[in-house]
Structure 1
């Protein structure tokens, strides 16, 4: 490999965009390949905890995000039917002081636009659907659906739950349907003014087997978003989501608090998505190929940390490449896995169990984490070589 290896990132979602931006910032010859023909402002919200905002700081977009996002003072958990408060988790100024950055909620599309804007536009390629990848030892050849090929020294699979890179490493295997679906909708906050109810800036409504998470996605609080977790035994649709309806929502949340009913009444369009998972993978990298985010640890969104783990992965991978040297890619990849596997697996399990912040607890193990500053844990073989 040359001193400046050529790196390819497959997928320009949040994890891929973070990897591409940080690699380009570090001076690596990095190109990002995205299968979509273009990006659009998809109707979804996202939580960005202090652990993620520290990565946004490194990318250079923390201030812009802080200006556009909503800053909840607390995370509330409430009983879905009675409205009783189950937990109150301080955020706001306490998050900034205790965890080192803000906690915000924002429109996923607005976040994505900022992250893509941090990439070199001449090295971001749309409409590039990867169909095959060939690691030849000295380089990797990528084959795209449009008939073109590209080569790179390192290929990062940030291509989601149905990752082609994961399939190359571990064989074809469909992700596991969790038995849960998520309904997603954005509501105009103007509509809510007709109700004499308190629409809090960040609240999760719980019952035994389902929930609704609700929060603002803009700093001016004009858009209010909800995402649910509802049991559904089977997913028999070929598409990644389907249209839902107010009627379906009313059936799913019958007997829930009047505030939840008001949200359903104000819903104009709502979609339904299957929640997919995988067991922790035995392999995150091989040769010149390495995975991050949903490609290696897809999880339910019930901790609001799925995208966060992908972004943390990206930052840690870049840190390890800089630490070891990209020319020593296999050592860098193993150092990356060593420093991500336990944390990602823990978040994956807690997300699966759906217990996060239902009761008062200390979230510092998630929010105080700083991927740029945490002490690196070296694999046993590396420690042995250093002491020899």
Structure 2
């Protein structure tokens, strides 16, 4: 029988998180605040600025405020008051403000690399271990034993898989088929800036329906020109 884990059950657990992206880094912060002993294992030998940008909704920023890391995120992001969706020729489809949550009313636009760097920056020194690519997970005497390609071995009471679309954790524990079927058509977001003062985005929907045009543009109201971004 599977039992739901309560906050008090987390305290003093040894938790291994595989992957130091923003999912792994955020999980590490949350679990450490609950009193867990957390170690994060990242396969890359150094963290690089990769990926595009993202929008952190008011609910997310409210959670960061609760965790005490709001300022660290806000310092490297730009607040947006509202968003517009336009056709490819610039005609407005809709305009709306972001939904308020808690004490937050803005979506913060941030580059993925800056977001990860900010999250890792609020973690205790020594919590993140670079150059650790997971090779296998075994269960021994009720604990998980993790073997890495560099020869190191670690033990944990709980393992969190945050190692992306090619997750070794998922493959080891569940399936090697991947998260998507070959028949599925993903939505692809692309955000090239077109002028020095405006920043636009184009989404490819993978749909030719007249009700869902193939290309639309989004413009976000912000006080400064930001890096390209997408909405999670």
Q: Could you say which TM-score interval applies, normalised by the shorter chain?
A: 0.7 to 0.9
SS in 2 for 1:22: helix
Report what 1:312 is aligned to: none
Report what 1:221 is aligned to: 224
2:214 pairs with 194, 209, 217, which one?
209
Change (3 A) 1:214 1:225: farther
Question: Would you say the 8 A contact 2:73–2:115 is kept in 1?
Answer: yes
Structure with the bigger percentage of strand? 2
Matches within 5 A, 1:1-388: 4-81=12-89, 83-91=90-98, 95-96=99-100, 99-101=102-104, 102-176=106-180, 178-180=184-186, 182=188, 184=190, 187=193, 192-193=195-196, 199=198, 208-213=213-218, 221-225=224-228, 304-305=231-232
- Map Cα deviations across residues 320-354 of structure 1 (whole Å, 9 max, x no partner): xxxxxxxxxxxxxxxxxxxxxxxxxxxxxxxxxxx
Structure with the bigger percentage of helix? 1
- Map Cα deviations across residues 258-282 of structure 1 (whole Å, 9 max, x no partner): xxxxxxxxxxxxxxxxxxxxxxxxx
Question: Would you say the 8 A contact 2:83–2:220 is kept in 1?
Answer: no
Unaligned runs of 5+ in 2: 1-8, 205-211
Change (3 A) 1:214 1:88: closer
Question: Would you say the 8 A contact 2:12–2:36 is kept in 1?
Answer: yes
Separation in 2, partners of 1:150, 1:69:
36
Query: Alpha-carbon deviation of 1:2?
Result: 11
Question: Would you say the 8 A contact 2:189–2:202 is kept in 1?
Answer: no
Change (3 A) 1:2 1:48: closer
Separation in 2, partners of 1:212, 1:226:
12
SS in 1 for 2:214: coil
- Map Cα deviations across residues 159-207 of structure 1 (whole Å, 9 max, x no partner): 11221121222221134354357465665xxx834xxxx726x766786
How many residues matched? 214
Change (3 A) 1:2 1:215: closer
Change (3 A) 1:18 1:151: same
Query: Alpha-carbon deviation of 1:124?
Result: 0.9
Unaligned runs of 5+ in 1: 228-303, 306-388
Structure showing greater relative contact order (alpha-carbon pairs closer than 8 Å, 6 or more residues apart): 2
Question: Would you say the 8 A contact 1:140–1:152 is kept in 2?
Answer: yes
- Map Cα deviations across residues 12-39 of structure 1 (whole Å, 9 max, x no partner): 1111101111222222111110111111
User: What is the RMSD computed on CA atoms of the aligned residues?
Assistant: 3.0
TM-score (norm 1): 0.49
Change (3 A) 1:226 1:108: closer
Query: Alpha-carbon deviation of 1:112?
Result: 0.9
Question: Would you say the 8 A contact 2:24–2:40 is kept in 1?
Answer: yes
Question: Would you say the 8 A contact 1:11–1:159 is kept in 2?
Answer: yes
Change (3 A) 1:226 1:150: closer
- Map Cα deviations across residues 136-181 of structure 1 (whole Å, 9 max, x no partner): 2421100101121111111111111221121222221134354357
Question: Would you say the 8 A contact 2:84–2:218 is kept in 1?
Answer: no
Separation in 2, partners of 1:105, 1:31:
28
